[in-house]
């Protein structure tokens, strides 16, 4: 199993240190505030705003993330409890 992240796609994204960047369910990059909570009782969350449309097709068993350089990487998810 590889521990080094695998580059999925290069982007020209310039990251803001006060924002959180994710690869959403559609395979696009979205940004939101670091906390993401706007109200308590009842709790309301900020919806991430899409900033780059990449249409990455995600494979099961991998964690996709935006690296420090703004490019999209993936790591294989290790099983916590191996199958017997």
Q: What is the pLDDT of residue 35?
A: 79
pTM for this predicted structure: 0.80
Per-residue pLDDT averaged across 54-64, rounded? 95
Q: Reply yes or no on whether the pLDDT at 41 is more than 60.
A: yes
Burial degree of 29 (CB within 10 A; 0-12, 13-18, 19+):
buried
User: By the 8 A CB rule, do 70 and 14 touch?
Assistant: yes
Q: What is the pLDDT of residue 2?
A: 52
Which element (helix H / strand E) includes 52?
Answer: strand 49-52
Q: How many residues does the chain have?
A: 84
Q: pLDDT class for 12, splitting at 50, 70, 90?
A: very high
């Amino acid at each position: 199993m590889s521990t080094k992240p695998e580059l999925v796609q290069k982007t020209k994204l310039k990251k803001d240190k006060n924002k959180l960047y994710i690869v959403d369910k559609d395979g696009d990059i979205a940004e939101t505030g670091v906390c993401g909570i706007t109200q308590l009782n009842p709790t309301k969350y900020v919806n991430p705003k899409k900033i780059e449309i990449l249409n990455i097709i995600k494979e099961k068993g991998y964690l996709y993330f935006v690296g420090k350089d703004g490019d999209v990487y993936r790591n294989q998810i290790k099983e916590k409890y191996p199958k017997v």
